[in-house]
Structure 1
Amino acid sequence: MTYLKSAYLCLAVAAIGLVMASCEKKEVPVRFAIASDFHAPDVPGGQERVEAFIKAANDENVDFIIDLGDFCWLDSASQVYRDIWNNFKGEKYHAIGNHDLDRYSVDEYVEGMGMPNRYYSFDKGNFHFVVLDGNNYSDGKEIIHYDHANYGKYPYSNHSYMDKKQMEWLEKDLASTNLKTVLLSHQSIDSELKNGAEVRSILEKENKRAGFKKVVLAFSGHNHSNYTKKINGISYMQINSASYVWIGKPTMTEKRFPEEINKKYSLMAYSMMYDKPLYAIVTLTEEGADIKGTKANFIPPTPKEVGLGDSIGVYPLVSTIEDVYVNFAD
């Protein structure tokens, strides 16, 4: 009798344990592939670079892919890049870059790339993602959206603003979710946006209002560099260009490419290209973001051989996206 009671007790305890285990919510990481600034039609080997990114994303079986702007044009010659992009099996997202609007209005580009809006948000797993649009300039009186390269008539110090309407939307969007939130934009909120302090204030106030660190991480492109920094508890990561870095002065490209290439891709005269495409695979959990980057070399002549240092202004001059782990804990 004692033996039977013990057996029944063991079975009951085991059954309770199984029920409790089945009720526990098992976390499923969110994984995505991220790249920026392909400038695919304007660089030699642009098609191969996009193909390498899509292959890596498919091989890694990520949940979605996103590019952070300056991807390709909408003309028939760029159809090949859009077709390659669409070969990814899962969800696909874009942010708008400034050069994406050199030939188009924002409405034309949004429609041509199949985007829901110029800024938008979506949920995946236990995370909320917000895609932002910093493609505005100031004429000294108003904030005006980029349209057919209209920003070019003003100095660089007038570029890269976020408009008031979008910031009001951002406040409401953040307040509408209890999920940890990741931001994605072309221009960086930490250094490139001229009114970035206003945007960061929105993020920091929402974290304070929510009572926990809701906004945890912001990715950006545009500056063709790589770094990770933390401002008031929020991490900001610059995703390097998939293709090259703009130097702004002659870079001995006659030693880098044959004459026909340099004639076809005039951008190369003032740039330095990477010998491999750069991108990253990001894995998000409740604890943090594990970012696995890629490394390349500069196609010689190297920055040192051209007489450059290790940065351009405040931005590191590197041909990598470094591996980094971002801890979400306070």
Structure 2
Amino acid sequence: MKKHLNSRRDFIKQTSIGIAATGILSKWYPFASKITSSASEKVQFGFITDLHHGLCKGAIDRLQIFLDEASSKSLDFIMQGGDFCFSEPAAQECVDLWNTYAGEKYHVLGNHDMDKGSKEDIMKLWGMKEKYYSFDKGDFHFVILDGNYIKKDGEYVDYGHANFYIDQEKRSLFSPEQIEWLKQDLAGTEKQTVIISHQALDEIWDGWSSPSRFEIREVIDEANNNFEFQKVIACFCGHHHVDEHSIINDVHYFQMNSASYYWAGKGFGSDGPMAMYTKPLYAFITISPDGKIKIEGKKGDFVSPSPKEKGHPDAPRLSASISSVDTRFEHK
């Protein structure tokens, strides 16, 4: 996982406390009068994103492998980060398999989940009650956002039936109502917060991140500046099918790789435009209130011929992996 530091303060902090180059989640604890390191308050969860059932061959097998390993662990929950499946009858096998997991399960809406139906259709299929929401686990607060809006005639419109293939500046948006909700949600929690969205909020890939990222980051910065301790500590996304890490105003931004493939484009993929991964990619993440973070990521290879073998211009930035890390974050 490549790391990008976006401030001198970030660089000093990372080098001084020895954070590994692939560190996932930098934890602070806002508001709280006392921090304990009780093991019962740590959070452990499984994360998989961009499975693309209905598009990728073997998606069910990839999901099964993830769920089998998740079921063998003592996790607080599992989460899929979007682009999970279409809202069509053939996707029922994917949803049914997901629901065999006995523990808590959470969904994030992705753009391609609305390729063949409305946002309401996919939410009904998944049993998802809200487009965006939040919940607490242990010492941490989790916020799930929905970046699947387009701007049409001055209005914010839900993705649906693949209506999002328009100019970049008019899609991958977060609605004003949602941004206001985020302000209120962050103001109402006394816990350190992790934000998860499908689309990126960082600056890693030019032209790819959500045009609303500046508004979201303004809310994050405001929350962090108004409290004694940093409230928002990390943001996770999928969508881009890469393994990257950046730091902006002391907040960690992680792009989590697809479970299945990288969209290499015509002439560059091992399966049409898709550069498939030999193994399913996913991660198990542990966040501890005493400042310990452990990420167990999965590594594979590209199915040959790889993007590098085919001369893809971005090949040096691509990998069939999610990096593992064992690191620390600053806490009170």
TM-score grouping bracket, smaller chain normalisation: 0.7 to 0.9
Aligned to 2:277: 274
- CA separation of 1:157 and 1:324: change in aligned 2, threshold 3 A: farther
Task: Report the Cα offset of residue 280 of structure 1.
Answer: 0.3
Counterpart-to-counterpart distance in 2, 1:123 and 1:40: 29
Unaligned regions of 5+ residues in structure 1, if any?
Answer: 1-23, 254-267
Counterpart-to-counterpart distance in 2, 1:74 and 1:109: 5
- CA separation of 1:252 and 1:52: change in aligned 2, threshold 3 A: closer
Give the letter for the 2:163 counterpart: N
Aligned to 2:232: 215
- CA separation of 1:124 and 1:72: change in aligned 2, threshold 3 A: same
**Counterpart pick for 1:39 among 36, 52, 55:** 52
Q: Which has the larger radius of gyration?
A: 1
Task: Report the Cα offset of residue 228 of structure 1.
Answer: 1.2
Superposition pairs for residues 1-330 of structure 1, below 5 Å? Answer: 26-28=38-40, 29-139=42-152, 141-152=154-165, 154-191=166-203, 192-251=209-268, 253=270, 268-286=271-289, 287-311=291-315, 316-325=317-326, 327-329=328-330
Aligned 8 A contact 1:216 1:328 in 2: no
Counterpart-to-counterpart distance in 2, 1:195 and 1:325: 32
Once structures 1 and 2 are overlaid, which stretch shifts more, 283-292 or 180-189? 283-292
Deviations 1:43-98 (A, max 9, x none): 11111000011011111221110011000123221111111111111000000000
Counterpart-to-counterpart distance in 2, 1:79 and 1:104: 14
Deviations 1:189-209 (A, max 9, x none): 113111201101101110111
TM-score (norm 1): 0.83
Aligned 8 A contact 1:37 1:70 in 2: yes
Unaligned regions of 5+ residues in structure 2, if any?
Answer: 1-35, 204-208
Task: Report the Cα offset of residue 309 of structure 1.
Answer: 4.0
The alignment partner of 1:31 has SS state of strand
Deviations 1:13-56 (A, max 9, x none): xxxxxxxxxxx772422100001100022111111000011011
The alignment partner of 1:210 has SS state of coil
State the structure with bigger RCO (CA 8 A, min sep 6), 1 or 2: 2
- CA separation of 1:25 and 1:322: change in aligned 2, threshold 3 A: closer
Task: Report the Cα offset of residue 143 of structure 1.
Answer: 2.9
Aligned 8 A contact 2:264 2:274 in 1: yes
Q: How many corresponding residue pairs?
A: 289
Aligned 8 A contact 2:269 2:307 in 1: no
Give the letter for the 1:37 counterpart: D
Give the letter for the 2:219 counterpart: I
The alignment partner of 1:303 has SS state of coil
Counterpart-to-counterpart distance in 2, 1:150 and 1:218: 26
RMSD: 1.8
Aligned 8 A contact 1:100 1:109 in 2: yes
Aligned to 1:260: none
The alignment partner of 2:90 has SS state of helix
- CA separation of 1:245 and 1:252: change in aligned 2, threshold 3 A: closer
Give the letter for the 1:247 counterpart: A
Q: Identity rate of aligned residues, in percent? A: 39
